[in-house]
């Protein structure tokens, strides 16, 4: 696509050779601390073709993934690329999907990994595997900033039109905790992405949106909406990988440890979540 993806690829190529030693050492140890410096040798053949992988994401989930001036950016984008650069894999770029198409895209081999603020849960774990967690979240109930509706608990949402994005854990909260009890199925509005849900909240077509807290905070900074209350779910985000791709899963886990140990993870959380 743009100059930037070219330079990103050149960057990955340039660090790829050095990363082999690190990730091989990392796979054998308990996270590879310090093993990149002294333990040379294992990655020295240099003749093997490093496998290429692609990743899928679903923009519209700021600050994890969004489009800025046509460019795909965000915490997941930076973090996943940093993680891959710590492995022997080459990164071949991003494909964009609606959130609920990501798991089918992965299982159909259209992509090799998912980086989309995706919560690790039992239902998804039946179909795909996840890496170790890289971020935690609860669900926020977001309302209009200038409205007179200030719910403090789920029961305050009774008989209100509520929005969430299709296939998400936010939708799960609506379906499991609200529909058939506080609200009817018709009062639940499912959106292809959260940008449309928040837009409809601003327009008055729904009175609340259920969405991951860090994303709610980002929308609240940029739009006339606010968090009314938080519903604790204790979710953890992981990268999604095919169940038969154990090598990639363990390489990404080693890469994740390396990125945490190098301080890069902290830098990226500051960049995307800092004030
Ligand atoms: N964390 C939520 C989930 O996994 C939402 C993810 C998203 O919308 N990108 O369902």
Residues 266 and 179: their CA atoms lie apart, in Å, by 39
pLDDT of residue 47: 59
Separation between Cα atoms, residue 42 and residue 37, nearest integer Å: 12
For position 43, what pLDDT does the model report? 42
Closest CA to 225 of 145, 157, 109: 145
Ligand 1 pocket mutation, candidates 61, 99, 240, criterion most atoms within 8 A of CB? 99
- Please give the average pLDDT of every successive group of 10 residues along the chain, which has 275 residues: 38 37 37 36 55 97 97 98 98 98 98 98 98 98 94 98 98 98 98 97 98 98 98 98 98 98 98 89
pLDDT by residue (tens digit) across 95-137?
Answer: 999 999 999 999 999 999 999 999 999 999 999 999 999 999 9
Residue 25 Cα to ligand 1 middle (Å): 33
Domains of the chain plus CATH, in order, are: 8-134+238-273 (3.40.190.10), 136-235 (3.40.190.10)
Ligand 1 site: residues with CB under 6 angstroms?
58, 61, 99, 116-119, 165, 168-169, 194, 212, 235
Top mutation candidate among 60, 105, 106, 119 for ligand 1, by most atoms within 8 Å of CB: 119
Residue 147 has a pLDDT of: 83
Structure confidence at residue 179 (pLDDT): 98
């Amino acid at each position: 696509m743009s100059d930037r993806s070219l330079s990103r690829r050149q960057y990955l190529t340039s660090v790829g050779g050095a990363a082999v030693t690190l990730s091989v050492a990392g796979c054998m140890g308990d996270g590879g601390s310090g093993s990149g410096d002294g333990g040379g040798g294992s990655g020295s053949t240099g003749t093997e073709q490093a496998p290429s992988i692609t990743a899928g994401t679903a923009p519209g989930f700021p600050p994890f993934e969004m489009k800025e001036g046509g460019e795909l950016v965000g915490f997941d984008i930076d973090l996943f690329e940093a993680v891959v650069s710590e492995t022997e894999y080459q990164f071949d770029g991003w494909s964009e999907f609606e959130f609920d198409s990501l798991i089918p895209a992965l299982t159909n081999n259209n992509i090799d990994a998912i980086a989309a603020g995706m919560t690790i849960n039992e239902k998804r774990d039946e179909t795909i595997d996840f890496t170790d967690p890289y971020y935690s979240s609860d669900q926020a109930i977001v309302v209009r900033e200038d409205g007179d509706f200030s719910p403090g608990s789920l029961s305050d949402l009774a008989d209100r039109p509520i929005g969430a994005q299709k296939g998400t854990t936010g939708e799960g909260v609506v379906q499991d905790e609200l529909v058939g009890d506080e609200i009817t199925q018709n009062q639940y509005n499912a959106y292809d992405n959260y940008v449309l849900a928040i837009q409809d909240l601003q327009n008055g077509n729904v009175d609340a949106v259920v969405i991951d807290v860090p994303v709610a905070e980002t929308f609240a900074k940029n739009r006339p909406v606010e968090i009314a209350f938080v519903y604790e779910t204790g979710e953890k985000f992981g990268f999604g990988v095919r169940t038969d791709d154990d090598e990639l899963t363990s390489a990404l886990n080693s890469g994740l440890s390396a990125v945490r140990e190098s301080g890069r993870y902290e830098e990226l959380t500051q960049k995307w979540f800092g004030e």
